[in-house]
Amino acid sequence: KSILMHEENARPTFKAFFERKDTFALGVCNGCQMLTRIAELIPGTENWPIFTDNESQQFEARVSMVKIQDDKENPSVFLHGMEGSSFPIVVSHGEGRAQFKTPTDVQTLTQANGAPIRYVNNYLKTTQEYPFNPNGSPEGIAAVRSKDGRVLAMMPHPERTIMKEVGSYIPDGASEEWGEFGPWVRMFKSARRWVG
């Protein structure tokens, strides 16, 4: 609210940043909550939810499986080349459930490829079932993106899952090939690629 209510400085500064075509933003966990609360300043976020209390009414700290279902024609700055991938990721939040203003908002968002990362079950199917979906988000929504792909807001923590050592799932022999990092480093390499 501080950003939205400070109409002389903060609000126009953030608005100008998001309207520029040479900027991008990633909000993780609390950053995701912040970005979705100021969505009115971010072009192409009309159907974004806010993130509220987990359905379990408790803090959830675990590793969950997600699948990346990004827009192939217009990929997110952060998800280039990751379409169709499924990876474990760290979850650590008490308020991660996507809450929409109307039921049609969730349909509109998902049909427009605005929810590129979703919680999946052991069969890699999008789920609302606990504990696969740790917070009860509809359609398994773990992240939302702007229409142009420059802004990504996600509840799970890719930065906590970036090092190879956390990857107990890494196939035999791949560890040496992958080097120091696991597959989530691709998000940050993708952003670097976009910058040029």
Catalytic (active-site) positions? 29, 157, 159
DSSP β-bridge partners for residue 119:
66
Walk across the sheet containing 143-145 and list its strands: 25-28, 151-154, 143-145
Q: Is 33 left (phi over 0), alpha (psi -120 to 50) or beta?
A: alpha
